[in-house]
Amino acid sequence: MKKRAWLWTVAAVAGGAALGFACGGSNGASFGNGDDAGANVDGGAACPPCVTDSDCSGGGVCAQLGGDSYCAPACPNGNECSSDRQCTPVTSVSGQQVSVCVPRSGAVCSAGGSSGGSDAGSGSSDHCGSLVGPDVPAGCHCSSGKTCTADGCYGGWWCNTATNKCQSPPTNCTGGSGGGTSYDGGTPVTGSVGPSGGSASRLLFAVVGDTRPPSEDDTAAYPTGIITQIYQHMQALSPSPTFAVSTGDYMFAAPTGSQGAAQLDLYVGARAKYSGQVFPAMGNHECTGYTASNCGSGNTDGITNNYTAFLQKMLAPINQTSPYYEIDVNASDGSWTSKFLFVAANAWDQNEANWLSSAMGKSTTYTFLVRHEPATATTAPGVTPAENIMSQHPYTLSLVGHTHTYEHPSAREIIVGNGGAPLSGGKNFGFAMISQQANGSLAVDMIDYSSGQADPSFHFAVNPDGSPAP
C-alpha cells in the first residue's frame, strides 16, 4: 500500500485540556516511512498520517492526535524531546497510553492533568462506570520504564476495566457510583421504519459510532462485548428507538485480506440484539484505513476487500448498492418530513457530488447528514466538497464519527465515535439518542454503554433548521 504524507497542524482535546500539535520531530529526526515525502516545518520533520505503528519509522508512534492518527516522535523516558517540545501522554491507535513530543509554544500540553479524580463529575472520586482512578488497583498494563499508579497507568490517567486500557480522566461521570441520569425518551412512538425508510408518529433514533479492534487484523480482540451491550441498551430503552444510524469504521483490517469480512460478521451479530433497522455510513476503514483513501470504481484505491465486504454485509441487507444513499422517514399524519443522507467521504466522485446536491435541494422539515469524518478531517476526499454543498442548503444536523469520543464541536455537528474503538478522550463508550419534542425541536443525549444512563453534561436541543432550541 502506498503511504501518503501531508503536513499538518491540528488541535485536540484530551481529558478536557486543549492540545496544540504542529508538525516536526525531536532533534530533527524523521518519523515517516521511506516512501513518505513532505516538507519540514519548524526545523522538524514531516508528520505523515498513519494506520499502524509500522507506518512510522525512526521510533515514531501512530497516535490519536486532533481527531485523526499521525506519526509522532516517541519519548518513553521523558527526556527525548527538543527544548521547544514536551513529552505528553496521548492515546495510540491501539488504545495504549504512550508519550510523544508535542510543541510547547501556544499549547497547553496536558493530557488530562495530574489529578486522578478531580474531573470525575457527579460520580465518586475514583470510579466512573468501567473507569477507575489512579489509586484503585486495576489491570491496565504499566508501560515499560514508567512509574505507574495502582491502576496500572501514569500521568494521572484512569484505567478502563472493560478494556484494560489507560485513558485520560473522565470529564464528566455517566456511570458507576451515582453518576449519570435516567434517560427519558418521551412518549411511545407508533409507526415503523424498514430498509427503505418509513413513517412514525415522531422521530426517535439512535446514533452509534466507531467500532473496531485496537490492532489491524486482530479479530480476536474485536470489541464484541461493548457493541453488544450498546445494542442491548438500545433495545431496552422505553420507548426504544425506531431505528438507528451508524457513522462508520466497523473494522480494522488489511484491505487485501479477509479479516474485514470476519469483523463485520461480529458487528452484525451484535447488532441483532436490537430489533430496529440500522442504517450504516461508510468509514475510512471500509476502504484502506487511511483517512485520505478513496474507494470505488475509477477512484484512487479502487475496490478493496474491505469495501466489498461493507457493501455485501452492511448495505445489501437494506437493498443499497451504493455507499451513498438516502432514507426518508416521514410523519404518520403528514405533519413533517425528514431525510437522512448517508455521505461516503471515502468513496467520493462527481456522481456522489451530483447526488448530494440534488438530495439537499429537496425540501424537508428535517435534513440529517450521516458521514464518517467530521468537517475538520479535510484530508478525506469527500469532506470539504460535501461541506461546500451542505453550506448552500438548510439542514438540521451532521452526524459524524472518526474521533473516538463524543463531542458537539459546532452548532450543527455531533461527533459520535465511541462505539468500541480505542477511546481518545476522557469519556466512555456509548451511543447517542435523538428525540423529537412536542414543539418540533430535537433533544440530543448520550447514553453510557455500561450503565445505560445519560450524561447530564451532554444534553441540548436544536430546531429543524439546526439553530439552538431551548
Nearest alpha-carbon partner for 370 in 310, 415, 316, 329: 415
Give 70's pLDDT tier (boundaries 50, 70, 90): confident
**Long-range pairs of 152-156 with CB within 8 A, sequence gap ≥ 24:** 153/97, 154/89, 154/97, 155/89, 155/97, 155/111, 155/112, 155/114, 156/112, 156/113, 156/114, 156/115, 156/116
What are residue 8's DSSP bridge partners?
Answer: none
Give the pLDDT confidence score for residue 124 in this predicted structure: 58
Identify the weakest region by mean pLDDT among 61-65, 105-109, 209-213. Answer: 105-109
DSSP classification of residue 84? T
Query: 40-49, 77-86, 311-320 — which is least confidently predicted?
Result: 40-49
pLDDT top residue among 196 and 160: 196
Question: What pLDDT shows up at residue 177?
Answer: 38
> pLDDT value at position 117?
32
pLDDT score, position 76: 86
220-258 pLDDT, tens digit per residue, is 999 999 999 999 999 999 999 999 999 999 999 999 999
pLDDT on residue 7: 31
CB of 158 closer than 8 Å to CB of 168: yes
The H-assigned helical ranges of 311-452 are 350-360, 383-390
Q: Which three cell numbers stand for residue 326?
A: 438516502
CA distances from 412 to 251, 255, 391, 452, 463 (A): 27, 33, 11, 25, 10
pLDDT value at residue 197? 98
**Which tens digit of pLDDT belongs to each residue from 305-361?**
999 999 999 999 999 999 999 999 999 999 999 999 999 999 999 999 999 999 999
Closest CA to 363 of 387, 398, 342, 336: 336
Per the model's pLDDT, the better-predicted residue between 179 and 193 turns out to be 193
What are the two backbone dihedrals, phi and then psi, of residue 246, each rounded to the nearest 5 degrees?
A: -125, 150
Helix/strand/coil (H, E, C) string of 149-180?
CCCCCCCCCEEECCCCEEECCCCCCCCCCCCC
Inform me whether the pLDDT recorded for 205 exceeds 80: yes
Residue 18 has pLDDT above 70, yes or no: no
pTM for the structure as a whole = 0.83
Residue 299 has pLDDT above 90, yes or no: yes
pLDDT of residue 283: 98
| pLDDT tens digits along 391-405 | 999 999 999 999 999
% of the chain residues with pLDDT over 70: 84
Q: b/e map of 59-84 (b: 16 or more CB within 10 Å)?
A: bbbbbbbbbbbbbbbbbbeeebbbee
Domain boundaries, the chain: 9-103, 116-179, 191-469
pLDDT at 11 over 90: no
- Looking at residue 8, its pLDDT comes to 35
Kindly state the average pLDDT of the residues 146-156.
87
Q: Is 55 helix (H, G, I), strand (E, B) or coil?
A: helix
Q: What is the DSSP letter of 286?
A: G
**C-alpha cell, 316:** 445489501
* Each residue's pLDDT tens digit, 252-289: 999 999 999 999 999 999 999 999 999 999 999 999 99
B/e letters for 103-137, b = 16+ CB within 10 Å, e = fewer, are bbeebebbbbbeebbebbbbbeebbbbbbbbbebe
Instruction: Give residue 97's pLDDT.
Output: 87
Give the H or E element holding residue 306: helix 305-310
Nearest to 211 by CA among 194, 231, 195: 231
Q: Give the three-state DSSP class for 433.
A: strand
CA angle 301, 282, 251 (to 5 degrees): 85
Look at residue 467 and tell me whether its pLDDT is greater than 50: yes
- On average, the pLDDT of the chain sits at 85
- pLDDT number for residue 174: 52
Q: For residues 379-390, give the mean pLDDT.
A: 98
> What confidence score (pLDDT) does residue 20 get?
40
Which CATH number describes the domain made up of 191-469? Answer: 3.60.21.10
- Does the pLDDT value for residue 423 go beyond 50? yes
User: Over the stretch 347-376, which tens digit does the pLDDT of each residue have?
Assistant: 999 999 999 999 999 999 999 999 999 999
What pLDDT sits at residue 65? Answer: 82
Share of the chain above pLDDT 90, in %: 63
**Dihedral angle computed from the Cα positions of residues 290, 296, 301 and 304, in that order, rounded to the nearest 10 degrees:** 80
pLDDT of residue 35: 32
- Is residue 31 scored above 60 in pLDDT? no
What per-residue confidence (pLDDT) applies to 172? 65
Give the CB-side neighbour count of residue 452, counting CA atoms within 13 A. Answer: 14
Cis peptide before 49 (omega within 30 of 0): no
